[in-house]
Amino acid sequence: MDQKNNIYYGYVRSDVLRYVPHTANSILSIGCGFGRTEKVLIEQGKKITGIEPSEEAAPIAESNGLRVIRKTAQEGLDELANETFDCVMLSDVLEHLTEPQQILLKCSELLPSGAKIIISVPNFRHYSVFFHLFIKGTVPNRTAGIFDNTHLQITTMKRVKSWIKNVGATTEKTEYKFSGRLEKWLSKITLGVLDEFLAPQVLLCAKKN
Protein backbone atom coordinates (compact mmCIF):
# COMPACT_ATOMS: atom_id res chain seq x y z
CA MET A 1 0.00 0.00 0.00
CA ASP A 2 1.67 3.23 -1.13
CA GLN A 3 1.97 6.51 0.73
CA LYS A 4 -0.47 8.32 -1.56
CA ASN A 5 -3.25 5.83 -0.83
CA ASN A 6 -2.65 6.23 2.88
CA ILE A 7 -2.90 10.01 2.52
CA TYR A 8 -6.13 9.92 0.53
CA TYR A 9 -7.84 6.88 1.98
CA GLY A 10 -6.33 6.03 5.31
CA TYR A 11 -7.19 8.59 7.97
CA VAL A 12 -10.26 9.78 9.84
CA ARG A 13 -11.59 13.18 8.75
CA SER A 14 -12.65 14.53 12.12
CA ASP A 15 -13.13 17.96 10.53
CA VAL A 16 -15.78 16.54 8.18
CA LEU A 17 -17.45 14.52 10.93
CA ARG A 18 -18.16 17.71 12.88
CA TYR A 19 -20.63 18.78 10.21
CA VAL A 20 -22.62 15.54 9.99
CA PRO A 21 -26.00 16.17 11.68
CA HIS A 22 -26.83 13.96 14.66
CA THR A 23 -30.25 13.44 13.08
CA ALA A 24 -28.81 12.05 9.83
CA ASN A 25 -29.32 8.29 9.71
CA SER A 26 -28.63 7.41 6.08
CA ILE A 27 -25.43 8.93 4.70
CA LEU A 28 -23.82 8.76 1.27
CA SER A 29 -20.05 9.16 0.96
CA ILE A 30 -18.68 9.83 -2.52
CA GLY A 31 -15.11 8.53 -2.75
CA CYS A 32 -15.21 6.84 0.64
CA GLY A 33 -11.70 5.39 0.35
CA PHE A 34 -10.95 2.91 3.13
CA GLY A 35 -14.09 4.03 4.97
CA ARG A 36 -12.31 4.94 8.20
CA THR A 37 -14.13 8.24 8.58
CA GLU A 38 -17.41 6.52 7.79
CA LYS A 39 -16.69 3.75 10.30
CA VAL A 40 -16.97 6.34 13.09
CA LEU A 41 -20.51 7.08 11.91
CA ILE A 42 -21.37 3.39 11.64
CA GLU A 43 -20.32 2.96 15.26
CA GLN A 44 -22.87 5.67 16.09
CA GLY A 45 -25.58 3.55 14.51
CA LYS A 46 -25.76 5.31 11.14
CA LYS A 47 -26.21 3.54 7.81
CA ILE A 48 -23.43 4.42 5.36
CA THR A 49 -23.32 3.87 1.60
CA GLY A 50 -20.03 4.61 -0.13
CA ILE A 51 -19.12 4.99 -3.78
CA GLU A 52 -15.52 3.96 -4.40
CA PRO A 53 -13.95 2.89 -7.73
CA SER A 54 -10.57 1.86 -6.28
CA GLU A 55 -10.11 -1.91 -6.29
CA GLU A 56 -7.72 -1.56 -3.38
CA ALA A 57 -9.85 0.72 -1.22
CA ALA A 58 -13.37 -0.68 -1.78
CA PRO A 59 -12.91 -4.05 0.01
CA ILE A 60 -11.31 -2.32 2.99
CA ALA A 61 -14.29 0.02 3.19
CA GLU A 62 -16.62 -2.98 3.11
CA SER A 63 -14.67 -4.58 5.96
CA ASN A 64 -15.30 -1.36 7.93
CA GLY A 65 -19.04 -1.91 7.61
CA LEU A 66 -19.94 0.23 4.60
CA ARG A 67 -22.21 -0.80 1.78
CA VAL A 68 -19.91 0.00 -1.14
CA ILE A 69 -20.85 0.69 -4.75
CA ARG A 70 -17.69 -0.19 -6.69
CA LYS A 71 -18.16 2.31 -9.48
CA THR A 72 -17.25 5.85 -10.47
CA ALA A 73 -19.18 8.71 -8.91
CA GLN A 74 -21.34 9.11 -12.02
CA GLU A 75 -22.10 5.40 -12.34
CA GLY A 76 -22.68 4.94 -8.61
CA LEU A 77 -25.11 7.85 -8.40
CA ASP A 78 -27.02 6.48 -11.38
CA GLU A 79 -27.35 3.15 -9.56
CA LEU A 80 -28.66 4.89 -6.44
CA ALA A 81 -31.15 7.08 -8.34
CA ASN A 82 -34.19 5.63 -6.52
CA GLU A 83 -32.75 6.00 -3.03
CA THR A 84 -32.82 8.88 -0.53
CA PHE A 85 -30.16 10.02 1.92
CA ASP A 86 -30.06 12.49 4.82
CA CYS A 87 -26.51 13.70 4.12
CA VAL A 88 -23.84 13.48 1.42
CA MET A 89 -20.10 13.75 2.07
CA LEU A 90 -17.59 14.65 -0.66
CA SER A 91 -14.16 14.74 0.97
CA ASP A 92 -11.47 15.78 -1.52
CA VAL A 93 -13.43 14.44 -4.46
CA LEU A 94 -14.74 17.28 -6.63
CA GLU A 95 -11.28 18.40 -7.73
CA HIS A 96 -10.73 14.98 -9.34
CA LEU A 97 -13.89 15.07 -11.49
CA THR A 98 -14.42 16.31 -15.03
CA GLU A 99 -17.96 17.53 -14.23
CA PRO A 100 -18.08 18.33 -10.50
CA GLN A 101 -21.23 20.44 -10.67
CA GLN A 102 -23.08 17.65 -12.47
CA ILE A 103 -22.07 15.21 -9.72
CA LEU A 104 -23.28 17.68 -7.09
CA LEU A 105 -26.59 17.96 -8.93
CA LYS A 106 -27.01 14.19 -8.93
CA CYS A 107 -26.21 14.14 -5.21
CA SER A 108 -28.79 16.82 -4.50
CA GLU A 109 -31.42 14.79 -6.35
CA LEU A 110 -31.01 12.05 -3.74
CA LEU A 111 -31.65 14.45 -0.85
CA PRO A 112 -34.86 15.77 0.68
CA SER A 113 -35.20 19.45 1.48
CA GLY A 114 -33.04 20.38 4.46
CA ALA A 115 -30.54 17.54 3.99
CA LYS A 116 -26.82 18.37 4.23
CA ILE A 117 -24.00 18.36 1.71
CA ILE A 118 -20.48 18.39 3.19
CA ILE A 119 -17.58 19.25 0.90
CA SER A 120 -13.83 19.61 1.32
CA VAL A 121 -11.51 20.69 -1.51
CA PRO A 122 -8.00 22.11 -1.91
CA ASN A 123 -7.78 25.90 -1.92
CA PHE A 124 -6.12 27.26 -5.04
CA ARG A 125 -6.03 30.74 -3.50
CA HIS A 126 -3.29 29.47 -1.18
CA TYR A 127 -0.07 31.48 -1.19
CA SER A 128 1.91 28.48 -2.49
CA VAL A 129 -0.03 28.62 -5.77
CA PHE A 130 0.91 32.30 -6.22
CA PHE A 131 4.53 31.59 -5.32
CA HIS A 132 5.00 28.68 -7.72
CA LEU A 133 2.94 30.02 -10.61
CA PHE A 134 3.76 33.74 -10.57
CA ILE A 135 7.16 33.86 -8.87
CA LYS A 136 8.81 30.63 -10.02
CA GLY A 137 6.76 30.30 -13.21
CA THR A 138 6.06 26.61 -12.82
CA VAL A 139 3.58 24.15 -11.34
CA PRO A 140 4.99 21.35 -9.15
CA ASN A 141 4.18 17.78 -10.14
CA ARG A 142 3.21 16.14 -6.85
CA THR A 143 1.27 13.11 -5.67
CA ALA A 144 -0.70 14.85 -2.91
CA GLY A 145 -1.83 18.27 -1.74
CA ILE A 146 -2.85 21.27 -3.82
CA PHE A 147 -0.49 20.32 -6.66
CA ASP A 148 -1.60 16.68 -6.87
CA ASN A 149 -1.10 15.65 -10.49
CA THR A 150 -4.51 13.94 -10.61
CA HIS A 151 -6.47 17.16 -9.98
CA LEU A 152 -8.74 18.15 -12.84
CA GLN A 153 -10.31 21.25 -11.28
CA ILE A 154 -9.08 24.50 -9.78
CA THR A 155 -11.13 24.82 -6.61
CA THR A 156 -11.70 27.82 -4.37
CA MET A 157 -14.28 28.69 -1.74
CA LYS A 158 -16.08 31.02 -4.15
CA ARG A 159 -16.18 28.50 -7.00
CA VAL A 160 -17.57 25.71 -4.84
CA LYS A 161 -20.18 28.07 -3.42
CA SER A 162 -21.33 28.79 -6.98
CA TRP A 163 -21.66 25.06 -7.70
CA ILE A 164 -23.70 24.64 -4.53
CA LYS A 165 -26.02 27.49 -5.50
CA ASN A 166 -26.43 26.17 -9.04
CA VAL A 167 -27.66 22.77 -7.83
CA GLY A 168 -30.37 24.21 -5.60
CA ALA A 169 -28.62 24.28 -2.24
CA THR A 170 -27.47 26.98 0.17
CA THR A 171 -24.05 27.24 1.79
CA GLU A 172 -24.56 27.44 5.55
CA LYS A 173 -21.06 27.12 6.99
CA THR A 174 -17.54 27.51 5.65
CA GLU A 175 -14.16 26.84 7.18
CA TYR A 176 -10.57 27.46 6.14
CA LYS A 177 -8.31 24.56 7.14
CA PHE A 178 -4.74 25.41 8.14
CA SER A 179 -1.92 22.89 7.93
CA GLY A 180 0.61 24.35 10.35
CA ARG A 181 1.20 26.56 13.37
CA LEU A 182 2.59 29.43 11.30
CA GLU A 183 -0.56 29.69 9.18
CA LYS A 184 -2.76 29.58 12.29
CA TRP A 185 -0.63 32.28 13.93
CA LEU A 186 -0.76 34.50 10.85
CA SER A 187 -4.52 34.04 10.70
CA LYS A 188 -4.81 35.10 14.32
CA ILE A 189 -2.67 38.22 14.09
CA THR A 190 -4.37 39.32 10.84
CA LEU A 191 -7.84 38.73 12.34
CA GLY A 192 -8.72 36.27 9.59
CA VAL A 193 -8.35 38.79 6.76
CA LEU A 194 -5.76 36.64 4.97
CA ASP A 195 -7.35 33.25 5.67
CA GLU A 196 -8.19 32.51 2.04
CA PHE A 197 -4.50 32.84 1.18
CA LEU A 198 -3.18 30.94 4.22
CA ALA A 199 -5.39 27.83 4.17
CA PRO A 200 -4.48 24.96 1.84
CA GLN A 201 -7.96 23.46 2.17
CA VAL A 202 -11.55 24.67 2.53
CA LEU A 203 -14.64 23.02 4.01
CA LEU A 204 -18.24 23.86 3.19
CA CYS A 205 -21.51 22.63 4.64
CA ALA A 206 -24.63 23.24 2.56
CA LYS A 207 -28.36 22.57 2.89
CA LYS A 208 -30.63 21.31 0.11
CA ASN A 209 -33.27 23.96 -0.56
Instruction: Give the CA angle between residues 114, 207, 57 to the nearest 5°.
Output: 105
Residues near 21 by Cβ (< 8 Å), separated by ≥ 6? 86, 87, 116
> Which pLDDT belongs to residue 6?
55
What is the predicted pLDDT for the residue at 80?
Answer: 97
Q: What is the DSSP string of 124-138?
A: TTSHHHHIIIIIS--
Is the domain 3-123+151-178+200-208 a CATH 3.40.50.1370 member?
A: no
Give the model confidence (pLDDT) of 84-103 as tens digits.
999 999 999 999 999 999 99
In this structure, the strands spanning 67-69 and 26-30 are unpaired
The pLDDT value given to residue 3: 46
Cβ neighbours of 26 (radius 10 Å) = 15
**In whole angstroms, how large is the CA radius of gyration of the chain?**
17
- What was the pLDDT predicted at 11? 81
Each residue of 13-37: pLDDT tens digit? 999 999 999 999 999 999 999 999 9
Whether this prediction's pTM lies above 0.75 is answered by yes
- Residues of the chain whose pLDDT is less than 50? 1-4
